Structure 1
Amino acid sequence: MARSKIHVGLEIGTSKICMVVGEVKADGSVKILGVGQSKSVGVRKGEIYDFPQVRACVKDALVKAEDASDVEIGSVFLAVTGSHIQGVNHQGSFRLPESEDTIEPEHVREAKEIARSVTIPPDHVYLHHIVRRYGVDGYHHATSPVGLTGRTVEADFHIVHGIRSRIENQIKCVREMPLDVDELVFSPIAAAQVALNREARERGALVIDIGGGTTDYALYTDGLIEASGCIPVGGDHITNDIHLVTGLPFSKAELLKVREGDASGDPARGVGTVKVSDEKGFAEAEVKRQLLNDIIRHRLEETLRLLVRKLPEGALERVGMGIFLAGGTSLMRGFGELASDVFQKDIYRPEPPELSGVQASFKDPQFTTALGLIRYAQVVESDRAPKRGFLSRLWPFAR
């Protein structure tokens, strides 16, 4: 009889560090046992720049997650991001020997090896090799074509890679807890596990996870991942813009953005001024609402249009379902209206209704990636047994 399995996901973000403990039951349902959160210090644009501070934040999240779940955590699925991470598609093709016309497992393996052999920079390392589809003599197949008759077998992969040293820093931080890393997961691929159901993937959907320092994206069309990537711009850049224009301290600019800002572009929401008080409650400054809203909208619109330019040509025409917004910055008032203006598509905010044990506050879009790690772990568990040696092949210090 199948047993339940406990998985742990860890996201080291620019604004927060989140560790979530989930139980995958024998019937496939998922129950969230506990969550540990800590304010992130020492991370910029999704990458570690102050190792001791980040290590302390991760430790704090670990303690909270263990207390909340009553589980002793030994390993995690780790989300990674950063503008150095790239996603590309590559196809491999293998022609059968003249004396053979039935596709055997070794023929498919040859095609897969050719497809996986993408030339990457010498300082990069592979994160994902995701099979998109197979083909026989140019005709697409969703599953392995072993046993079919044909002359040429193809394999189409989505391959994700990034700079080794930057990824090693995150692994090292986790190892010093000490915790093992079950697997590395590119953040938008994790987010898509929760954000998109099968219908959304089939009809075409774009997941945009906009956090404090990065904007991650994953595009799915015809049920397959078509593109993924990261832009080093997020909510902190909006805060910095407000700081530079108004002269307010960064902390005050952040509060002003969250409490009063609006990205919709609606003139009715830009009437009047906002009073900013000092620590003693006295008026310190006044900011015109229209100015505040313009700063926010311009930065967010620039970010979304930059993302559009990174998508494959004609990709938005294949997005039939719509745009799924995740990440803390997606909670900005009016962001849905802005995204609708930019993409001219239906806008959604993902929720995980099929998960049990989730506190209401944990179901908002800023936790999509953390929850997605549990779903990703569930898929890995069903496809194959977890490989303890996964990281040791790439990073010698990983157990």
Structure 2
Amino acid sequence: MARTKIHVGLEIGTSKICMVVGEVKSDGSVKILGVGQSKSVGVRKGEIYDFPQVRACVKDALVKAEDASDVEIGSVFLAVTGSHIQGVNHQGSFRLPDSEDTIDADHVREAKEIARAVTIPPDHVYLHHVPRRFGVDGFHQASSPVGLTGRTVEADYHVVHGIRSRIENQIKCVREMPLDVDDLVFSPIATAQVALNREARDRGALVIDIGGGTTDYALYVDGMIEASGCIPVGGDHITNDIHLVTGLPFSKAELLKVREGDASGDAARSVGVVKVGDEKGFAEAEVKRQLLNDIIRQRLEETLGLLLKRLPDGSVDKIGTGVFLAGGTSLMRGFGELAHDIFRRDIYRPEPPELSGVQASFKDPQFTTALGLIRYAQIVESERSPKRGFLRKIWPFAR
């Protein structure tokens, strides 16, 4: 009888650091045992710029997660992001020897190796090689073509890579807890594990995870990942825009954005003014709702517009299911309406499926990536052992 397995996911974000402890039971169900959160300090646009501060925040999240779950944590699945990370599609083709016409495992292996061998900058390292599909003489196959007759076998992969040093810094931060890193996961790929089921992927779906400093995305078409990436813009940029235009302190601008802002573009929601109290006893400031909402909508329009330009031509027409919004900034009032205006597709906010032990607040979209790491770990456990050899290559002290 299969035993239960405990996995831990760690997301080091711009706004928060979140560690989730999940138990995968013998029947495949997942129970969340505990969550540890800490305000993120020292991270900008998803990347570490103040190592000691980030290390202290991760330590705080670790202590809270262990207390909440009553589990001694020894290793984590780590989500990574940043504008330096790129996702590209690459196809490899292998022609069978003239004396052979039946495809065997060695032929497929050759095609896979060619497809995985994407040329990347010397300072980059591979994060993922995600198989998309196979082909025989130009005809696409959903599964391995071993045993079929043909002259040429093709393999198609989605390859994700990023700057080695920036990824190493994240691993180093975790190792100094000290914790092992079971695997590295590009954040939108983790998010998609919770946001999308098989039907959604088959019909076409776009996942957008917009946090404090980055907007991550993953596009699935015909059941396969079509595109992924990270735009270095998030909710903090909206707050800074409000700060610059109104002259309010950054903290006040953040509260104003969260409590009063609306991105829908609905004129009825932009009537009147918002009074901002001054904690030092000075007279209240007033901000016109129209101005506030225009600032928010313009920045979000720009962000989603940048994302739209990065998607392959014509791919939006293949999104049959819709767009799934995750991340803290996706909670902005009116953001769903804005996303619908831009993509002209149904808009959803994912909820964790088939999970138990989850506090009500943990179903918040800002935790989707952390939950997705547990799902990703579950898949890794069922299919293969974690890539410890890979981690030794980019970080020699990984166990």
Q: Tell me if both proteins adopt one fold, taking TM over 0.5 as the criterion.
A: yes
Aligned residue for 1:58, secondary structure, equals helix
Q: Deviations over 1:87-141 (max 9, x none)?
A: 0000000001111111111111100010011110110000000000111111111
Q: Do structure 1's residue 228 and structure 2's residue 253 form an aligned pair?
A: no
Q: Between the two proteins, what is the percent identity of the paired residues?
A: 88
Distance in 1 (CA, whole Å) between partners of 2:156 and 2:184 is 21
- TM-score normalised by structure 1 residue count: 0.99
Q: In the TM superposition, what are the counterparts of 1:179-328 in structure 2 within 5 Å?
A: 179-280=179-280, 283-328=283-328
Aligned residue for 1:41, secondary structure, equals coil
In the other structure, the counterpart of 2:80 is 80
Aligned residue for 2:262, secondary structure, equals coil
In the other structure, the counterpart of 1:46 is 46
Distance in 1 (CA, whole Å) between partners of 2:279 and 2:177 is 37
Q: Displacement of 1:282 after TM fit?
A: 5.5
In the other structure, the counterpart of 1:365 is 365
AA aligned opposite 1:148: L
Distance in 2 (CA, whole Å) between partners of 1:11 and 1:193 is 15
Whether the aligned pair in 2 keeps the contact of 1:275 and 1:287 (CA below 8 Å) is: yes
Distance in 1 (CA, whole Å) between partners of 2:47 and 2:387 is 26
Q: Displacement of 1:387 after TM fit?
A: 4.0
Distance in 1 (CA, whole Å) between partners of 2:68 and 2:184 is 24
Distance in 1 (CA, whole Å) between partners of 2:26 and 2:272 is 57
AA aligned opposite 1:334: G
Q: In the TM superposition, what are the counterparts of 1:334-373 in structure 2 within 5 Å?
A: 334-373=334-373
In the other structure, the counterpart of 1:64 is 64
Q: Displacement of 1:337 after TM fit?
A: 0.5
Whether the aligned pair in 2 keeps the contact of 1:182 and 1:390 (CA below 8 Å) is: no
Aligned residue for 1:128, secondary structure, equals strand
Whether the aligned pair in 1 keeps the contact of 2:388 and 2:398 (CA below 8 Å) is: no
Q: Displacement of 1:386 after TM fit?
A: 2.8
Distance in 2 (CA, whole Å) between partners of 1:259 and 1:283 is 20
Aligned residue for 1:181, secondary structure, equals strand
Q: Displacement of 1:394 after TM fit?
A: 2.6
Q: Displacement of 1:63 after TM fit?
A: 0.3
**Greater CA deviation, 132-141 or 158-167?**
132-141
Q: Deviations over 1:156-177 (max 9, x none)?
A: 0000000001111000000000
AA aligned opposite 1:200: A
Root mean square deviation of aligned Cα: 0.9
**Greater CA deviation, 323-332 or 147-156?**
147-156
In the other structure, the counterpart of 1:123 is 123
In the other structure, the counterpart of 1:134 is 134
Q: Deviations over 1:34-72 (max 9, x none)?
A: 000000000000000000000000000000000000000
In the other structure, the counterpart of 2:31 is 31
Q: In the TM superposition, what are the counterparts of 1:87-126 in structure 2 within 5 Å?
A: 87-126=87-126
Whether the aligned pair in 1 keeps the contact of 2:34 and 2:68 (CA below 8 Å) is: yes
Distance in 1 (CA, whole Å) between partners of 2:276 and 2:15 is 23
Aligned residue for 1:369, secondary structure, equals helix
In the other structure, the counterpart of 2:330 is 330
Q: Displacement of 1:390 after TM fit?
A: 3.1
Distance in 1 (CA, whole Å) between partners of 2:388 and 2:229 is 27
Aligned residue for 2:396, secondary structure, equals coil
Distance in 1 (CA, whole Å) between partners of 2:202 and 2:96 is 31
Q: Do structure 1's residue 148 and structure 2's residue 151 form an aligned pair?
A: no
Q: Displacement of 1:354 after TM fit?
A: 1.2
